[in-house]
Structure 1
């Protein structure tokens, strides 16, 4: 058995279990009942104070910490740790009435009102000063409290407010542009303002990209996306600076929102001590578990494989979809284990006790409205018991057998207006590539443009619309050294300023891929184009390209329409490796092409004979002990052989049941097993 490392930098042993607790919504007599039930359910961490600003600071001059003092003392007395929030996600009414400029303004000039949450302008100096003052008061008071295990800054940055177009934001944007571009001449060059007579003679003339008569300068929009991510990050960093000063040694996090376009999580995660995420897969979506796996692989990758924390998930139904389908108990258990299977060291929920009032009163909770008589309460207790049995996996890690290149700049630029097709959306392009590897049992890591590529035999780039020469050079070196790169369509088009690369597409990848794109050929909605892959018929949708080879071998061809007979998929030898190019979007047929570079790179599944609908990943402890997760996402029983290609079969002990496993494991419908396997030298 491996040493128990706890969750990343926190001091709480084992796996974290619990959720958001909002005791200010209840009389204090309820608190004692809550903590007794938490202890009975195995809860060891609760998030408190997320939306407590008005409770903590009833007006500009007065504070009320007495209730929070009593609360933290109470949970500590019951052996429960606290993830203490800074409460800055929802400014109180007194602040916005005293400083109405705090409220955000839309691109159409509408000032959004108080009455929801996240009602603030990221560039508001009044908001930032009040938030930092609150954080300082909290840190000074609770930095030495024995219940404190984690600081929780704000909540879900970018959920409701991702941008603001008020005068304060305009001034902040201009300052950001000065720092980025240096002088107005460089701004004009970067933005290509010679087009449509958009030239500036002073930064003072620049405004945010508010609603305009026609298309707005695309590089202005791209810089705006960058600025908005940085403006929110500056708020987070201002709070974290106070916590690092007054409460050193206590880790700091802010909860991400899965794969959120608005925020560059590569940059954000550099400033987190522990990555945490809120994930709400839809029980009505048959592919929800695949999308969740993608998100969890990203969360693990943001800190180069370090354990992360599932900060929020729904115990059953949410309250904000048009139709809110509940989770059966087996599905809630399975999806909780899936987060652990992909590197999480804890499973938390929104929320502990179901609210009686407010916008989320119909959101499920660990303790439902019916109390301990509810089905949901039995699920809460059962999951807590199982997580205690899995405690030894805390601190173990897993590494993907392949990597996906993800660049937020390219994502933002790809989805700007006035492109050949508005159907080229990053997540839509990514998902079939990811799903193909998921179905084949291949675990994926994500890497940034500047990330480490060594050790990955296969690198996937479903789209690299925006690509600078430095990243292109790194891809050249990766392939020359023996790597296999698979690049998707509409890649290598523009530089970091969204200017088209000279010499034809795919720009700096032209020599590496051995192809040139003569013309983009988007596919109309509802139509497809036939592609032949060595006798196998595939269908392209959304996108295709007229390409010509410049040294690359043709792997697949278009077989109908204007592109009939032309290359669709190519492979180009480059040094010791190879670079593949998919000039079309193949949707669910993508895997048939990816099988070729997978085989060439020698990438194999954890278990080669994995039945359909079964997910398998393996985490490794510091001493090499393995933890093989087998998750059955189907409504039918599945038998999973433990044989592996070229090595002896796996054996192990199921930590959930204590049963020994050899040869095969039988999984119940929506069932799971977590096998402790002996130490091995095979781990990544």
Structure 2
């Protein structure tokens, strides 16, 4: 059995962050350890993420002495180490001596060193150097008692359109299609005279100045890029596993990132981890956090790791606001409530130089007297207090939201009907409706086993494989409830539009006789429906006579035609209802499927999540509020018993055990 997060946590919540001591003189290290111990809950740091030039200052050289001293220092003070391979940021000498390691964009421009992620995933030279430094790190530190986990690379996100990537793309395509006839069919190359007579004529989708690129080619290039980056990850993972088969391995996802098929990646990780940075000024920041947390927990199929968050402001938005008092604590507990067994930050000590010197740290520029560190101390102590009760606890959900990266990639092509239709926006709207209705949700791939859920929700799956369609049909025929949003089931796995504009089996399921036209809406435009208004999209649908219950459009070109259809336990929503209307609709469908909220009668702005035997209550408002919780419960944070009600202060949190 492969290692898991529990092998690193050992019954506690990991708490800490990225530690970059090479940016500081060694006398600072002793002060860092003092502050970590003073914060009590800090029990883990990640070392080496951006240390390649320090470890290998010139080709083949190894400078491990400083890292030896750090590993020993941290172990002597009871602090575990998540050791990173430094391969996300190659040293300048690599690009200078080996230009083939540098990626190229779609215009053919070289992406030079001086930032980070400047590596070609297909470069044999890059892969050779990455394997060598990984091998030496694993051999040297694999038996060190401080080591608890491996962290491979960092935020994989690099695309490459260069010649070496082109050769790899052709190899990938040969493996996928075997013959040119199959490739030409999948890409629809009969259009615009694009048929290929030789594999050597195929390139990545480079800049097409005259008009649009081939969508089949673009879709496969996205698949290829995800696979090539995954090859880089698994090559390093396999090296460290050989030395330390008992230790878990991870790499950190970016939240809802378009560039990776995260379902496939998650299968290759022992620990699924994510970086999460909601905007403190965003009134829906907590909902964005909940969405990412639900998705990450579902990829992990259990406890997961919050690898990075900010103790205060970031530095990459147009205006970078600090977190108001209590928000850092609130959002950290939200992650724990939704399954995190590790709460970590970028980074420990705020940098004084470099591109991210205005990105906050657990110890900010104000030092140990600053609010950031004082809040970290409080949070660490509280996490330590509840660790034994919450670590390893699972979350049960009756509702699952389906999401697929291949569908996202295909639906995002530049030649679509409306550039206003952005999948993350649609996904967020539907998840928000469920979140505000206090319905706990998992996520799943459309081909996953769905039998354990009472309600399957499909905000939008433009591309559906035959296997996915069959899975949805079997789910409904098994007596469960399905609700789908617009533009679902339009294309097959090659982005070929299904006959009739929607898979015929889905049209029959929903009671759609003919889908005549798609009617996208302008920005700010709405369409009247019976009882609500729709946004973003509408569709001209002719239902099967007497076969479906409908909620009609009112007025305009679609007057009297169905905005919402229901046939048995299958629902189809052909527009995006405004937020209150979507929440009401989904709440009603969920209730009909036997799904209940976590807690009845919750005030607006209060989130409730059950994890194992614990009930988390989170006040996302700035005013004190009282929540009714029938019965007597023990508040783990306050150390007191409460009966029938709990009072939460501004951004307040309660963790209750009945």
The one-character-per-residue Cα deviations of 1:122-168 (angstroms, maximum 9, x if unpaired) are 1111111100110000000000000000100001111xx2x111000
Q: In structure 2, the residue corresponding to 1:494 is in which secondary structure? A: coil
CA distance in 2, matches of 1:417, 1:650: 55
Alignment of 1:128-277 (within 5 A): 128-158=127-157, 161=158, 163-212=159-208, 213-277=210-274
Q: Is the 8 A contact 1:7 1:14 kept in 2?
A: no
CA distance in 1, matches of 2:421, 2:60: 52
Q: Is the 8 A contact 1:506 1:517 kept in 2?
A: no
TM-score by length of 2: 0.97
The one-character-per-residue Cα deviations of 1:101-136 (angstroms, maximum 9, x if unpaired) are 211111011111110011111111111110011000
Q: Is the 8 A contact 1:6 1:14 kept in 2?
A: no
Q: Is residue 585 from structure 1 mapped to residue 584 from structure 2 by the alignment? A: no
CA distance in 2, matches of 1:552, 1:287: 39
CA distance in 2, matches of 1:116, 1:210: 23
Q: Is residue 553 from structure 1 mapped to residue 548 from structure 2 by the alignment? A: yes
C-alpha RMSD of matched pairs (Å): 1.3
Q: In the alignment, which residue of structure 2 is the partner of 1:655? A: 636
The one-character-per-residue Cα deviations of 1:530-551 (angstroms, maximum 9, x if unpaired) are 000xxx2x11111100001125
Q: In the alignment, which residue of structure 2 is the partner of 1:670? A: 651
Q: In structure 2, the residue corresponding to 1:441 is in which secondary structure? A: coil
Correspondent of 1:36 among 16, 34, 37: 34
The gaps in structure 2 that reach 5 residues or longer are none
**1:554 positional shift:** 3.1
Q: Is the 8 A contact 2:520 2:538 kept in 1?
A: yes
Q: Is residue 527 from structure 1 mapped to residue 525 from structure 2 by the alignment? A: yes
Q: Is the 8 A contact 2:5 2:270 kept in 1?
A: no
Alignment: residue pair count = 650
CA distance in 2, matches of 1:571, 1:193: 38
**1:280 positional shift:** 0.5
Q: In the alignment, which residue of structure 1 is the partner of 2:8? A: 10
Q: In the alignment, which residue of structure 2 is the partner of 1:645? A: none
Correspondent of 1:355 among 339, 345, 351: 351
Change (3 A) 1:529 1:199: same
Alignment of 1:57-76 (within 5 A): 57-76=56-75
**1:669 positional shift:** 1.5
**1:425 positional shift:** 1.4
Correspondent of 1:597 among 574, 589, 596: 589
**1:37 positional shift:** 1.1
Deviating 4+ runs (over 3 angstroms): none
Q: Is the 8 A contact 1:10 1:149 kept in 2?
A: yes
Structure 1, 27-36 or 133-142: larger mean CA deviation: 27-36
Correspondent of 1:412 among 409, 412, 417: 409
Q: In the alignment, which residue of structure 2 is the partner of 1:623? A: none
CA distance in 2, matches of 1:499, 1:669: 52
Q: Is the 8 A contact 1:6 1:13 kept in 2?
A: no
Q: In the alignment, which residue of structure 2 is the partner of 1:633? A: 620
Q: In structure 2, the residue corresponding to 1:292 is in which secondary structure? A: helix
Q: In the alignment, which residue of structure 2 is the partner of 1:646? A: none
**1:639 positional shift:** 1.3
Alignment of 1:477-556 (within 5 A): 477-515=474-512, 516-532=514-530, 536=531, 538-550=532-544, 552-556=547-551
**1:372 positional shift:** 1.3
Alignment of 1:439-458 (within 5 A): 439-458=436-455
Q: In structure 2, the residue corresponding to 1:130 is in which secondary structure? A: helix
Q: Is the 8 A contact 1:6 1:395 kept in 2?
A: no
Q: In structure 1, the residue corresponding to 2:224 is in which secondary structure? A: helix
